Amino acid sequence: MRRRVVVTGMGVISPLGTGVGALEAGLREGRTGIRRMDDWGAVAAMLTRLAGPAEAPEVAQLPRKVSRTMGRVALLSTVASQHAIDDARLSPEEVSSGRVGLAHGSTHGSSSASEQWIKTLVEQRGLLGLSGTTYLKFMSHTTAANLALHFGIRGRTIPTCAACVSSSLAIGQAFETVRSGAMDVMICGGAEELHFSHAAIFDVMHAASSRYNDAPDRSPRPFDRDRDGLVVGEGAGTLVLEEYERARALGKTIHAEILGFGTSCDGTHITNPSRDGMRSAMELALADARLAPSDVGYVNAHATGTSVGDVAESQATRALFGAQVPVSSLKGHLGHTLGACGALEAIASVRMMHGGYVVPTRNLEHPDPACADLDYVMGGLREARFDVFMSNKFAFGGLNTSLVFRAPRD
């Protein structure tokens, strides 16, 4: 028998604020977290000046023995995870019982710590001034390792360092772990800290938005004919997943149930997405959930505002769902939070489902004719009652993930 898996805790830090309430309020009000980064002008030849910074994490109470190995990305994930653990009413004893596990990741570790290490090593050609704890801040699995240490997690721990699907992959892996009975509870999600090098990567690839440097509220523009690339953001999102009977017996608040998870690889190109690969992940998630496309009431799109990505995703979505299901992306509000986007946008979609509305794709005014014909949610909030939604996220390497959530029910 497959055990049912429900969401009992959610925590976020985002460009729209800290806490699920702040994220939801910002989305409902149509606000943007995108800002102009004037200090990036010091980076020679970099064109973009746009990013979505988050507020500083609340870390005053963290003991030195754990915080000394945390860069900003781990601090962000720690605060978001504490909010989720508190929301799920998990005691410290439960968390360290061995029946609670962890799945968490980021694109990579702390970029600011990596910069500090490399700069010191290269400029001096020596080790003076280097600290052993610096590596622990920028190692690829720093969020998972530091969360396990801080919260005393002794159960199964899965680092998911997979670029833009880091947190959606973590949720999927956690879902399968609880459903199988390997763990009773999983803390899962992802984080990303903001650093100019993230923007530089996409700038070099001609995939970062620069046309709207003087109008940061106008970019990014997912699916829009006038889009010119993505905008990087930062933040962290964590969900607590529990076995349904356990959660019900303990009187937990159940935010949602996860019904299905699908993941696939294009196997064709390292950066250019494949609409067939994207569609395969969606189909796998629906099959896992034992649902038909017509059962889905909303699709939360990845849609970052790049030319090739938006077109391929729209075509994959249209091929599976037709033009009936409402579709929107949250990148216009949050930017592309990379390793955090899967968790942040899933949490936001859960809140939409409870509120009976869909947040529009911010800055989408004229859908690109090259994109498939879909029911794009544009303008203001749309009233929409739905009890099943799909959240799709895609990454370099042709990595595709799709999650299916349902409203709580007995």
**Which residues are known catalytic residues?**
164, 302, 336
3-state secondary structure of 97: coil
**Are the CB atoms for 193 and 71 separated by under 8 Å?**
yes
Torsion of CA 357, 360, 362, 368, to 10 degrees: 170
Question: Hey, what are 276's tokens?
Answer: 């067939």
User: In angstroms, rounded to a whole number, what is the distance separating the alpha carbons of residues 32 and 53?
Assistant: 11
- Sign for the pseudo-dihedral over CA of 12, 18, 19, 24: negative
Residues whose CB is less than 8 angstroms from the CB of residue 40 and which lie 6 or more positions away in sequence, other chains included: 46, 48, 49, 51, 196, 199
Q: Which amino acid type is present at position 349? A: S
Q: Are strands 232-233 and 50-52 parallel, antiparallel or unpaired?
A: parallel
**Gyration radius (Cα) of the chain, Å:** 20
3-state helix, strand, coil in the chain (%, to 5): 40, 20, 40
User: In angstroms, rounded to a whole number, what is the distance separating the alpha carbons of residues 8 and 160?
Assistant: 21
- Residue 96 CA, chain-centre distance (Å), reads 26
Q: Are strands 17-18 and 5-14 parallel, antiparallel or unpaired?
A: antiparallel
- Residue 56 CA, chain-centre distance (Å), reads 18
* Of 250, 260, 242, nearest in space to 99 by CA: 242
Residues whose CB is less than 8 angstroms from the CB of residue 64 and which lie 6 or more positions away in sequence, other chains included: none
The DSSP string of 134-150 is: HHHHHSTTHHHHHHHHH
370: DSSP letter:
T
Q: Within a 13 Å sphere around the CA of 125, how many CA atoms are in the beta-carbon half?
A: 0
User: In angstroms, rounded to a whole number, what is the distance separating the alpha carbons of residues 361 and 391?
Assistant: 14
Q: Match 């500090």 to its residue by tokens.
A: 116
Phi and psi angles of residue 328, each rounded to the nearest 5 degrees, phi first:
-150, 160
293: DSSP letter:
G
Beta bridge partners of 187: 102, 240
